[in-house]
Amino acid sequence: MNTEKAMKQIAMVTRATDGTIVASAAFGADIELFAEEVVELSKAEGALVFFESNGVRMEINERSAPQEIARFYWDEFARRSAKYRGAAAREEKNMIDLAAALPTILPIAIAWAEAQSRLVLTTGAPLTEYGINDAKAVGVATPESIRVAIVPCLPLPDDPVLRAIALDTRLLGPGMVGLTLGHAIFVVQGHDSRRLLTHEYRHVHQYEVAGSIAAFLPVYLHQIATVGYNAAPFEIDARQHEIH
């Protein structure tokens, strides 16, 4: 991953209640992981959180351009964190692999997703009135069609290439607790929080807008292949519609 790519990712500046300026950025890998690392590093080295008046290496204030911050963070992080550099390189490799495999893998992915979806639509539970209201609130047109299956773990495709891609891109990796395929939602046992469910309802809305699983998946997987999971516009949109 290079600086160009880092600059396409997310950066923001916030002012803490004590008046300090806190800048944060994420590029490629996991945003939460990055945030944790920033906190750790700033504790350890006191250099990744900057103050408005005189930043040691770069002054960051509320008018700083996101690109500037992202570039700064990337340079800083690349220099400091070999561990993170490794993670970023792996993420980039995954993106390349998926992009290359996408044309071949799409029909298999769609067939698998449609079969999984049908399974949940016949065996899953409909939403309660409360759930229907939440689904409507995040834009779902036909919330009564939604079915939710609570499962011990998310389903994995049998196809070895599709399975490897799903795990590598973290789409169906160990950290994942929800999966939406059309009006079918898988939720891992113990994770059926309002936040997760509204996130998945928003994906239902996205499928509704696309019109079908076969229409949605190519666009979604293309996003994952080009900018990664966290920066995928469909994921950003779903996160923005979570009700906490």
Q: Which residues bind Zn ion (CB under 5 A)?
A: 235, 238
Question: Based on CB atoms, which residue is closest to Zn ion, 34 or 220?
Answer: 220
Q: Which residue is nearest to Zn ion (CB)?
A: 238
Question: Based on CB atoms, which residue is closest to Zn ion, 134 or 235?
Answer: 235
Token duo for residue 16: 């803490």
CB of 27 closer than 8 Å to CB of 9: yes
Q: Could you tell me the smallest distance in angstroms from the CB atom of residue 22 to Zn ion? A: 26
- The residues, any chain, with a CB within 8 Å of residue 214's CB and separated by 6 or more, are 110, 114
Q: Could you tell me the smallest distance in angstroms from the CB atom of residue 73 to Zn ion? A: 24
Q: Could you tell me the smallest distance in angstroms from the CB atom of residue 63 to Zn ion? A: 32
- The residues, any chain, with a CB within 8 Å of residue 63's CB and separated by 6 or more, are none
Question: Based on CB atoms, which residue is closest to Zn ion, 227 or 238?
Answer: 238
Q: Could you tell me the smallest distance in angstroms from the CB atom of residue 203 to Zn ion? A: 6
- The residues, any chain, with a CB within 8 Å of residue 74's CB and separated by 6 or more, are 3, 6, 7, 25, 27
**Tokens 């990796």, residue?**
173
Write out the DSSP string of 40-53: HHHHHHS-SS--SS
Question: Based on CB atoms, which residue is closest to Zn ion, 177 or 238?
Answer: 238
